[in-house]
A and B are shown apart, each in its own frame.
Chain A
Amino acid sequence: MSATTLTTRDATPPPVHYLNHDKSLKSWLLTLDHKRIGLMYLVTVATAFMVAGVLAMLVRYELINPGMDIMTAETYNKVFSMHGIMMVFLFIIPSIPAVMGNFVLPMHLGAKDVAFPRLNLASYYIFVAGGLLVVGALIVGNVDAGWTFYTPYSSRSSDSVLFMTMAVFVAGFSSILTGLNFIVTVHKMRAPGLTWNRLPLFVWGIYATSIVQVLATPVIGITMVLLFFERLLGIGIFDPALGGDPVLFQHFFWFYSHPAVYIMILPAFGIISELIAVFSRHPIHGYRFVALSSVAIAFLGFLVWGHHMFVSGQSAISAVIFSLITYLIGIPTGVKMFNWVATMYRGSIWLQTPMLYALSFLFLFAIGGFTGIALGVLALDVHLHDTYFVVGHFHYVMMGGTVIAALGGLHYWWPKITGKMYNEMLGKIAAALIFVGFNITFFTQLVLGTQGMPRRYYDYLPRFETMHEVSTYGSWILGAGLFIVLFYLLASLFRGRTASSNPWGAATLEWTHATSPPDPHNFHQTPIVSRGPYDFHLLSEEFGDGHATQEIADTRETQPG
């Protein structure tokens, strides 16, 4: 191959793009542009993340010593409940599908927009309504049931739990509608030549997630309605005082919430595939295995909800089946790990900030995966269930996985979204702080858990104090790293270097066929696809050095027909 220089030089942004073509407030609030909707989601979920992050810092500070430090037990219970609810339902679930799925998916497909733009805008406002209801419940101030709302505690708790369940129900509709939109978009709006085996793996991840969203989210809606009816009408469904069965609620809840784990993680897998391929300059090793393992994980994810309930009184045969299927999910996940690392073999690895997040992800998610295997072992789960081991495991998967991948994706697509480059040195520093702080915070919690520390404890025995202190110190480092990210990303909007159309030398359509920031309609002409999404070795044959849209246009004009 001829040597190719990846440009990091300044470039002139296009005079008209999706950000500046119409600056009126109305054009934003009523926009049908998937890119603007993605950006509005970004502002919304980032806000939820910051609030939930502050709540997390408060929880960790309270736990730095046994007994009371800055809040009462009642307040502590509300704070950790709100942290969990906001993080899971207002940040993690929408963060990648709604923000990056909206911005990137149509561009990856060579499409002008999603299949149903008006439905897309409606999804955003439904999500905001759900978010406001959550905040309303916070202001009312009595939600203390945790993010799992187990009955009969939750159905006897205050009216705010009903308020909260309504909020989650509303936010869930946004997921259903977005999932539906994306499925149709992937099926119907791919550019000519874009066969299933040429789809970027990010699209596969979003596609698998969308299927889960459409099929699983209604169950939590149904569950919340039943909880509502029980509270309102006094009929016994889950509350044994009324003739109900509390374990039934757990079945309903986990039937949604375990697939929801894959709603959270599959898009992250998609991002990691993009980052590792681009920054290793290699096609993903075992593309088909990786793509199909997303679908396998989505399918199996529906069959394992009972592994949250090994000690709740379900039958031994049920426990066996759930445990076995849990292992079957571990295999396709392990396949991805192997394929990502194999992709780096003999590559040309470029350690830019997005790649640092991808490497962090491999490290952290591997720990989440292995601790998940331990929790799937029937006899071990008896000891580990509902201890801090579960808290650590969950955060390694959800934060070490999804949030780290979201940060990686945000850094990767930031030049395309904003037309600006952020400060690369600060990016590396923040990534390092986040990685170190994360491990100090949550590895400690794994040890706390195996030593027997139960979860959701406001107070604890003195022997757990040292590890709680260490975990809290780690959370400060983690918080500092995240704050630095916020700072330099915002600063880049004002003082960042102008981004070229393809600063990473990537091979997917949003980089090869669109400006930074993109045209309101994404592409000047519909792309025709004739290669895979990571065929970097073919870039020069098609696009010169694969950089400027103008060069593409010039090249095309000289060709006959």
Chain B
Amino acid sequence: MGDKGTFWMPEQASTLASEIDGLFYFVFWISLILFVAVIGAMVYFVFRYRRRGDGEHIPAPLAERKVVEIAWIAGPLILCLLVFTWGFKAFLKQSIAPADAYQIQVRASSWAWNFTYPNGTSVGSELRVPVDRPVKLTMSSDDVLHSFFVPSFRVKFDVLPNRYTSVWFEATEVGEFDIFCTEYCGTGHSAMLAKVIVQSEEDFKAWVATSGMGDMTPVEYGSVLFSQQNCAVCHSVDGTRGVGPTLKGLLGRPEQFTDGTSLIADDNYILESIINPAAKIVDTYPPAMPATYSTLQPQQLDALVAYIKSLE
């Protein structure tokens, strides 16, 4: 993806990008012309009026010409107002989403993104959107300030913990584009990355209809969800002890709980542990698992259970 674009700008992948770039290059070229004029005059004067030798004439002071002074004030002012007006109009376009935009909810928490679709599908790590269709993201944070940034779309907006903000775009290219968090949020700031995956309308509809599963097998989809939902932060799949129990060989394993009860792990135990983790706390582990996974779609829960059962 990085091979497209220009020296200054990454590839343009949304309807807003070309106008932003036009505005940037307009400001750039005006600035460059003025810069060359000013610095050029400076360099010329340095050579032309350079003092030669120790003997020196003291030049007579110049008469001030207020007309030139005022022209120098008025000229740049006009240019600035022109740029301001263009920037303001473009800003309004950026700020106001079309009424028929496809709505997606964004949740930021240190240090991951989560995207929830109208049918309740919730995914992390990747934002799937249809090409050539306006999309509006309504965003909020679970903890500190973050900022949602897609350079290829030229869109950015802060994500706040106590109110909703929104951003919109219409992707024009099928492909993958980087999402960054651009508001400093601690140790994992630079790892708070995700992808926008722009798909054809047909592929996108199929993906949403299957809650993101598409043509994957349940075990494959479960593996993807395990990663996207950040399960691996606490649970290993290779047998090592983590914040939570390892999931390797979980199916059929005897589990001892803090309330004194025990059972052999089966499908229902695994499901319950996902949607209501506080119900049974494995002995010697802290009750640290959040309850947020109860919002996962049935297909997603099925896939996760299938994946965890496959870990032998």
Query: Which residues of A are at the interface with B, using a C-beta cutoff of 8 A?
Result: 1, 3-6, 8, 73-74, 77, 144-146, 148, 150, 152-153, 156, 240-241, 244-247, 280-283, 285-286, 289, 310-313, 316, 319-320, 323-324, 327, 330-331, 334-335, 337-339, 341-342, 344-351, 359, 362-363, 366-367, 370-371, 373-374, 376-380, 382-383, 385-387, 447, 450-452, 454-461, 463, 505, 535-537, 539-540
Contact = CB atoms under 8 A, between A and B. Distances in A.
B264 interface: no
A492 B154 CA distance: 53
Given A153-B185, A286-B69, A344 B149 contact: no
Contacts of A77: 186-187, 189
Nearest to A446: B8
Contacts of B24: 374, 380, 383, 450
A74 B39 contact: no
B99 to A, nearest CB: 17
Interface residues on B, range: 35 or more
Given A144-B186, A370-B35, A456-B189, 5 more contacts: A77-B186, A246-B144, A313-B163, A345-B49, A347-B59
10 contacts: A8-B54, A152-B144, A152-B145, A323-B84, A331-B77, A341-B45, A351-B46, A379-B94, A450-B8, A452-B152
Contact of B57 (A3, A312, A337, A382): A3
A289 B151 contact: no
A281 B50 CA distance: 11
B156 A377 contact: no
Nearest to B64: A286
A77 B190 CA distance: 11
Contacts of B92: 316
Nearest to B42: A341
Nearest to A362: B42
Contacts of B165: 313
A309 B153 CA distance: 20
Nearest to B83: A377
A447 B9 CA distance: 8
B160 A246 contact: yes
Interface string B114-152: 000000000000000000000000000001110101011
Closest 7 CB pairs of A and B: A452-B151, A379-B90, A240-B162, A378-B91, A377-B87, A370-B31, A457-B190
B38 A366 contact: yes
A450 B8 CA distance: 6
Interface in B173-190: 178, 180-190
B189 to A, nearest CB: 6
Given A153-B185, A362-B42, A378-B88, A312 B54 contact: no
A331 B45 contact: no
Contacts of B49: 280, 344-349
Interface string B20-47: 1001100110010011001101100110
A362 B42 CA distance: 9
B95 interface: yes
B56 interface: yes
Contact of A451 (B31, B42, B95, B151): B151
Interface of B: 2, 5, 7-10, 19-20, 23-24, 27-28, 31, 34-35, 38-39, 41-42, 45-46, 49-51, 54-62, 64, 68-69, 72-73, 76-77, 80-81, 83-84, 86-95, 143-145, 147, 149, 151-152, 154-158, 160-163, 165, 178, 180-191, 193
Contacts of B35: 366-367, 370
Given A285-B62, A347-B45, A362-B38, A338 B72 contact: yes
Contacts of A379: 19-20, 23, 86-91, 93-94
Contacts of A386: 147, 149, 156, 182-183
B190 A74 contact: no
Contacts of B160: 240, 246-247, 312-313
B162 to A, nearest CB: 3
Which residue, of A73, A338, A366, A537, has the highest number of chain B Cβ atoms within 10 A? Answer: A338
Given A313-B165, A316-B95, A348-B56, A458 B189 contact: yes
A5 B56 contact: yes
B72 A311 contact: no
A148 B163 CA distance: 22
Contacts of B157: 311, 313, 382
Contacts of A338: 38, 69, 72
Contact of A323 (B87, B155, B162): B87
A456 B182 CA distance: 8
Given A1-B57, A240-B161, A383 B190 contact: no
Contact of A281 (B19, B41, B45, B56): B56
Contacts of B151: 383, 451-452
A332 to B, nearest CB: 9
Nearest to A535: B61
Contacts of B84: 323-324, 327, 376-378
Contacts of B41: 341
A511 to B, nearest CB: 15
A434 B158 CA distance: 36
B10 A451 contact: yes
Contacts of B181: 454
A4 B57 CA distance: 7
A505 B24 CA distance: 45
Contacts of B155: 382-383
A6 B56 CA distance: 8
A539 B92 CA distance: 58
A150 B145 contact: yes
Contacts of B162: 240, 244-246
Given A374-B24, A458-B189, A385 B46 contact: no
Contacts of A331: 73, 76-77, 80
B72 A536 contact: no
A333 to B, nearest CB: 10
Contacts of A457: 189-190
Contacts of B2: 463
Nearest to B163: A313
B7 A447 contact: yes
Contacts of A371: 31
Contacts of B28: 374
Which residue, of B50, B81, B158, has the highest number of chain A Cβ atoms within 10 A? Answer: B158
A335 B69 contact: yes
B46 A359 contact: yes
Nearest to A146: B184
A61 B96 CA distance: 42
A235 B42 CA distance: 56
A370 B58 contact: no
B73 A335 contact: yes
Which residue, of B19, B24, B155, B156, has the highest number of chain A Cβ atoms within 10 A? Answer: B156
Given A323-B87, A380-B20, A537-B61, A460 B10 contact: no
Nearest to A156: B144
Given A150-B184, A313-B158, A458 B190 contact: yes
A387 B61 CA distance: 45
Given A4-B58, A539-B58, A378 B87 contact: yes
